[in-house]
Structure 1
Amino acid sequence: MPSFWRLQALLAKIETVYGTDPTPTGAANAILAEDVRVMPMEGQDVTRGFERPYMGARPTIAAGLHAKISFKVEVKGSGTAGTVPAIGVLLRSCAMAETIVAATSVTYNPVSSAHESCTIYFVNDGTNYLFKGARGTFKYVMSAQGVVYLEFEFTGLFTQPAALAMPTATYGTQLTQMPQVASSANTPTFTIGAVAAVLRSFSLDAGNKVTPRMLVRSESILITDRSEMIDMQIEAVPLATYNPFSLAAAGTAQAISLIHGTGAGKICTLSVPAAQVQRPTGLAEQDGITEWPLKFVPVPTSGNDQFTIAFT
């Protein structure tokens, strides 16, 4: 009997002790994910280098084993202001701190130490692909008239896949609360500096450097650095209104604000206090209109403040 790909459940739970499975459950820890891709046995194949009196392939030994999983989730709040969204566990495992203001907001910002980790279960038709000690990186991706996503990639310690009964996944508002597409009505604010720009596409790459560190007596997945980058495409305007060329030449930093969603508990605000304008490398055309593909580098000012993602 074959395994059916569409029969799958993704669960994630923060670890109290690194690499120790906290046993996520379908009732409390289900993640409504799309486009799941699993690389369950990454590593190296070490060739045995002995000599023989005949030709032929040499056997190998699997080493440095770890596992990767990528997927995307809809960007939306829990539906209740101040209540942690289901994707909070994922952001926390990507070197982000979580700050909760009761009945008001849940905000995530990058941190440089004491990184949390999670255990991820990917259960596919009765087979569990287990990712312990998982840490990762993500992209915030928006396109006009499309669903807004967070695209995650996690690396975890390798564990042999094992049989596991399909969990009963409870998705709550992840499923019942419809995502709001990026539009003028649903995305009321997008500014670069003091300019309200017309946006076609936007991407913030957290740029975490995720490193499997496989040593004797210590195996772990670490986030050892980060290098954020923003890509966007906006309508070109007169240079008197906004001049990315002079700003790039001067190395000027601009504040970027992107607010998506309407209604309490459904709003996501991405704030970048200081994003250095990079050299524009070309022009684009859509519908006979000139557009600017632009890049920005979020830079810290006092540290760990390159950007925040707030759900309100």
Structure 2
Amino acid sequence: MVDWVAVVLAKKELTYGVDSVPTVGANGILTRNYSAKPVDLDRIERNLDQRVFGALASVPSNERRTTSYEVEIAGSGEAGTAPGWMELLEACGLAAPVLTADTDAVQQFALPGVDATSISQYDYMSDQRRKAVGMVGSFTMDFTAGAYPFIGFNWLGMIPAATPFDKSAPGAVDLTRWLQPVEVNTDNSDFLLDGYAPALRSWRADAGVTTAMRNLVGKRYVRRGNHSFTSTAVIEAPDIATKNYIQSLRAGSLVNWALDHGTVAGNILGLASEKVQITDITESNEDDTLMWTLAMTHTVEGGTADLVITAR
């Protein structure tokens, strides 16, 4: 019997697909809702004509690893030092954070043509170790009132040739770089859409990063391609005379958007987009209050960044 005790280590690779050897002392990830397949693969079917009924054996092909988990969103504890989750976001298409000492760490999606970042990941189920290299992924974000904010990661990577599965207990894992987040609420959080601050129930985003296993003759790797950052905000519907989001929807307007969270230096996060387009409004009832779910696309119109993350 193997106990369900999950430990995840992840480290940025210097060379794509070359094991960066994450360690328990420096690369532990404080996860929740961990899920994985030991091996994910395709099967080659032969589809031969035969003189009896029944299934033929298939052949396994294109081995890979898929994992997913969530991490809480909090700062590093020191302004100007990047939180641990920013390294994970690099493997989802964001550039390395730009650090300003004692001030902030700023991160946004990398431009096309920039060498893709990847991670090596060791994940343990009790004392059973599984390895993956060349891992890239996509992510979601969730800021819901009355809860801690978090990022959800979905990873795709290759299985290395050397000891991909073995018996090796991780030992004590240092997780001190993962601070406790603060609750999403009126005291800690501010939300602005087109210069107006609606009452916010939740904001959820999907980076929409495309990933695919490329299995060719002479080359095998995980391709990370384009992304499309979209989000939904559930708000109390404002008086139309105060803020007319219906008109913004009808006109296809591009508006600014910002979400700030946290109050203490070293644990403050800012998210911002200059040109967001409201693409749909759905109405619902909550406690006899009219609620709107606004669907939004964070655009790169005019060369602006679709997402800027600032940890300060």
Q: TM-score, normalised to structure 2's length?
A: 0.94
Distance 1:56 1:103 in 2: 68
Distance 1:53 1:165 in 2: 51
- What is the aligned partner in structure 1 of residue 266 from structure 2? 265
Residue of 21, 39, 42 corresponding to 1:41: 39
The answer as to whether partners of 2:249 and 2:277 remain within 8 angstroms in 1 is: yes
Residue of 183, 201, 215 corresponding to 1:181: 183
Alignment of 1:43-122 (within 5 A): 43-97=41-95, 98-111=97-110, 112=112, 113-122=114-123
- What is the aligned partner in structure 1 of residue 303 from structure 2? 303
Residue of 172, 176, 182 corresponding to 1:172: 176
Deviation of the 1:55 alpha carbon: 2.7
Structure 2 unaligned regions, length at least 5: none
Residue identity matched to 1:300: V
Distance 1:89 1:129 in 2: 21
What's the Cα RMSD here? 1.4
Distance 1:140 1:152 in 2: 9
The answer as to whether partners of 1:110 and 1:304 remain within 8 angstroms in 2 is: no
Residue identity matched to 1:25: T
* Partner SS, residue 88 of structure 1: helix
Distance 1:204 1:107 in 2: 19
Equivalenced residues, count = 306
* Partner SS, residue 234 of structure 1: strand
Residue identity matched to 1:61: V
Deviation of the 1:102 alpha carbon: 1.4
Distance 1:173 1:21 in 2: 23
Distance 2:102 2:129 in 1: 36
Residue identity matched to 2:57: P
Matched, 1:251 2:252: yes
Distance 2:191 2:38 in 1: 39
Alignment of 1:273-312 (within 5 A): 273-280=274-281, 282-303=282-303, 305-312=305-312
The answer as to whether partners of 1:245 and 1:279 remain within 8 angstroms in 2 is: no
Residue identity matched to 1:299: T
Distance 2:169 2:136 in 1: 25
The answer as to whether partners of 2:24 and 2:173 remain within 8 angstroms in 1 is: yes
Distance 1:42 1:249 in 2: 44
| Residues 63-86 of structure 1 deviation map (CA, whole Å, 9 limit, x = unaligned) | 122111110001001110111211
Distance 1:136 1:55 in 2: 42
Deviation of the 1:33 alpha carbon: 0.4
User: Identity over aligned residues, as a percent?
Assistant: 26
Structure 2 vs 1, CA of residues 128 and 303 (structure 1 numbering), >3 Å: closer, same or farther? farther
* Partner SS, residue 19 of structure 1: coil
The answer as to whether partners of 1:12 and 1:89 remain within 8 angstroms in 2 is: no
Structure 1 unaligned regions, length at least 5: none
